[in-house]
Structure 1
Amino acid sequence: MPPLKMPRPAALAERLDGGLKGRLRAVVTNPQILLGIKAALAAAIAWLIAISLPGTPSEYPYYAPLGALLAMYPTVAGTLTQGLQTVAGLTIGIVLAYLAVWAGDPNWLTIAFVVGAGVLLGGKLKRTAGGGTGIASAGLFVLVIGNENLGYSLGYLVQTVIGVGVGLAVSVLIFPPLNFNDAVGQMSTLRRMAAQDLKELGQALEEDWAEDDPRWAKRRDDLMRSARNARDALQYADESRKGNVRWRFHPRDVDRDFYHVEVLEVVASHTLNITNMLQDALHGTVRESPMPNEVRPVLQAAFTAVGEVLDLWTVEESDGGVFQAAEQSLRALERAAYETVSLDIPFGAAAAIGMSLHRILQSVVPDLRIESPED
């Protein structure tokens, strides 16, 4: 048995150092782990501040970490919004509780009033107080626990405001996330998926998929989900830059990103329309004849050519030859569709699909670097 070779100390240290950096990077970039660490830190700091306050508020220090917890959100703008909504909801709840106190000690009637009014106001003031049961919960606590004790209400409010302030400070100063990497990844996924779907529609032509083949529905569902994910990811990324000090060091053209998403949504819409038309046209319907065999190879080539264009869209490569090949394939499809028109098929599916492919191509033209193949 050959002797075991121990790695040199320098190599081992380098390996461990690289592994440690990778793990730390994974922790910092994982949004849920980062949010948990920041929430724990904010709650701890809020507690330390709360117990050091003078006067009555120091008797209720537990509301400070609660305020920090209620305010914490992955983005700075979200933390500010939730913090203000928490304070607004608490203030309204305190007012409701004091209105109920005038009717006497807590009983079934005053409790019902505070809870009912709080829930109604929460539904009406979603932007102001966050909706939900925050107003009702705050009012119920003040009514049942504090009752006429003004010190309790004051302590509750002051400590919550402190917690919210600490939560906002931690959100601003401790690794505020910029989520554009995820947004770019989702947009790239949508682009590649639309390109792949078009190419696989050529496969559907070649294999003559049945109308009830589950692959039709799967492609539609996957593409619609990807389009939603791209839009949601970009909106979330746009929110993450608001109030974020890191944005100054990592600027990005957000308007251009939204333009790209809008174009991709147009592409996805046309791709879905093509999928539906092809599913009906392959074998025909009660009122329509099947797609003529003569047009199928030309249509398959058009799917592949336009899919190649989408593959290169926004990629730093020369697009001239690929774009011109796609245009030529669409002209060939136009001729084939015209030649198959008859009295029985005055509006062929191939022509309609060709128009949708044309719209896809025109949607991405402004961002294509069009060069002649000779360049």
Structure 2
Amino acid sequence: MRALLDAHVILAAKAALAAGIAWALALLIPGVAAEYPYYAPLGALLAMYPTVVGTVKLGLQTMTGLAIGIVLAYAAMWVGDPGSFTISFVVGMGVLLAGLLPRTAGGGSGIASAGLFVLILGNNDLSFSFGYFVQMIVGVLVGLGVSTLIAPPLNTDNALGQMSALRRTAAEQLQDIGQALEENWVAGDPRWVERREDLFHTMQGAREAVQYAEESRKGNVRRRFHPRDLAKDYEHVGALETVAFHTLNITNMLEDAVEGTTDEEPIPPGLKRPLQDAFSAVGDVLELWTVEEDDDQTLVGARQALRVLELSAFEAATRERPFGAASSIAMSLHRILHAVTPPSKYGSP
């Protein structure tokens, strides 16, 4: 939240600066364009976007939309003076063309707005169209310059924070599952739903943060001073998504198993402690794991806990009653360890 707030404050400051510069430059432009300086700050505002590549894309779309809107306005003027029909034509065609040309024309409101300005305010006055177009372009170019040269954001820190949050959330979920077994949470308990939703939203936030970090580096002059292997970050978040998927799978199985279902008896008493120990041990691995390093002793302890769980499940099937979900839970825990363990160490004793 703090990172998002800081980024928004920076964007607001850059937008204010761009609008001020655009206004100052607009007053220096000679000819008929000098009569419409107020459109330059508007162009700067329309072009501002948090990332450099986003600003370039938005700026190009704004300029294309302006050109299309002006053409639509003059096409409507051939029919007659501004009225219900011509206004409806410009707005309708603007939205339609924006839908057909989303990558080049920007939003439908931009095309329609440009057309309406020229149609209603210009009213066959070519000087207005020219001045409006020139000043808007000045503003867009100023917005591009400010976005590119002044504190262009890099979102790598936020991406790392989101990935760490996902790792911690998954680890806490496994610890909570052990608590659920001890307290016998019933199926439908709101805590099951809360944990699933929390994990899902954290997983989604991590993926979006890495994608935004990649976008923020494109065309960014600061990337030279902050090198980063984004391919490795994608591998990292992919591993964490695997962890989250299997954690959700375990949560769903245990919610049904605490009280039992029509197809299966509740968890045998002799399996609760091995399950809790396995969840705790794998959660400890997640707590300590980073991209660069892992804790060998904790990893060994987790593998031992899984072996105990598998042996206990076999004994429960012969002495008490079978619990089919035990093998699926153990497999999911193995998958979690495999996702966060270097290949050279996963199979080692």
Give the TM-score of the pair, scaled to structure 1: 0.88
Deviation at 1:317, TM superposition (A): 5.5
CA distance in 2, matches of 1:56, 1:327: 77
Provide closer, same or farther for how the CA distance between residues 372 and 358 of structure 1 changes in structure 2, counting only shifts above 3 A: closer
CA distance in 2, matches of 1:266, 1:347: 25
Map of 1:147 onto structure 2 = 123
Map of 1:361 onto structure 2 = 337
Map of 2:225 onto structure 1 = 249
Match of 2:274 among 298, 308, 314: 298
CA distance in 2, matches of 1:227, 1:96: 45
Q: Does 1:93 align with 2:69?
A: yes
The alignment's C-alpha RMSD in Å is 2.3
Q: Does 1:198 align with 2:161?
A: no
Cα distance per residue 1:146-195 (max 9 Å; x no partner): 12212111111111111011011111111111111111001001001101
Cα distance per residue 1:90-111 (max 9 Å; x no partner): 1111111111111121121111
Output the amino acid matched with 1:279: E
Provide closer, same or farther for how the CA distance between residues 181 and 198 of structure 1 changes in structure 2, counting only shifts above 3 A: same
Deviation at 1:57, TM superposition (A): 1.1
Instruction: Select between 186-195 and 286-295 the one with higher mean Cα deviation.
Output: 286-295
The answer on whether the counterparts of 2:98 and 2:107 sit within 8 Å (CA) in structure 1 is yes
Map of 1:73 onto structure 2 = 49
The answer on whether the counterparts of 2:118 and 2:129 sit within 8 Å (CA) in structure 1 is yes
Sequence identity of aligned pairs in percent?
Answer: 61
CA distance in 1, matches of 2:230, 2:313: 41
Runs of 4+ in 1 over 6 A off after TM superposition: 26-29, 344-347, 367-373
Equivalent residues in 2 for 1:134-283 (5 A)?
Answer: 134-283=110-259
CA distance in 1, matches of 2:25, 2:55: 19
CA distance in 2, matches of 1:297, 1:74: 50
Which segments of 5 or more consecutive residues in structure 2 lack a partner in the other structure? Answer: none
Provide closer, same or farther for how the CA distance between residues 318 and 265 of structure 1 changes in structure 2, counting only shifts above 3 A: closer
Deviation at 1:323, TM superposition (A): 0.9
CA distance in 1, matches of 2:325, 2:3: 52
Map of 1:10 onto structure 2 = none
Map of 1:46 onto structure 2 = 22
Provide closer, same or farther for how the CA distance between residues 368 and 242 of structure 1 changes in structure 2, counting only shifts above 3 A: farther
Cα distance per residue 1:295-321 (max 9 Å; x no partner): 111111110111111112116655111
CA distance in 1, matches of 2:84, 2:337: 67
Map of 1:312 onto structure 2 = 288
Map of 1:11 onto structure 2 = none
The answer on whether the counterparts of 2:58 and 2:106 sit within 8 Å (CA) in structure 1 is yes
Output the amino acid matched with 2:157: N
CA distance in 2, matches of 1:369, 1:130: 50
Instruction: Select between 273-282 and 206-215 the one with higher mean Cα deviation.
Output: 206-215
CA distance in 1, matches of 2:291, 2:69: 54
Give the TM-score of the pair, scaled to structure 2: 0.94
CA distance in 2, matches of 1:255, 1:27: 23
Instruction: Select between 348-357 and 124-133 the one with higher mean Cα deviation.
Output: 124-133
Which segments of 5 or more consecutive residues in structure 1 lack a partner in the other structure? Answer: 1-25
Deviation at 1:132, TM superposition (A): 3.5
Map of 1:14 onto structure 2 = none
The answer on whether the counterparts of 2:313 and 2:323 sit within 8 Å (CA) in structure 1 is no
CA distance in 2, matches of 1:326, 1:306: 5
Match of 1:326 among 283, 298, 302: 302
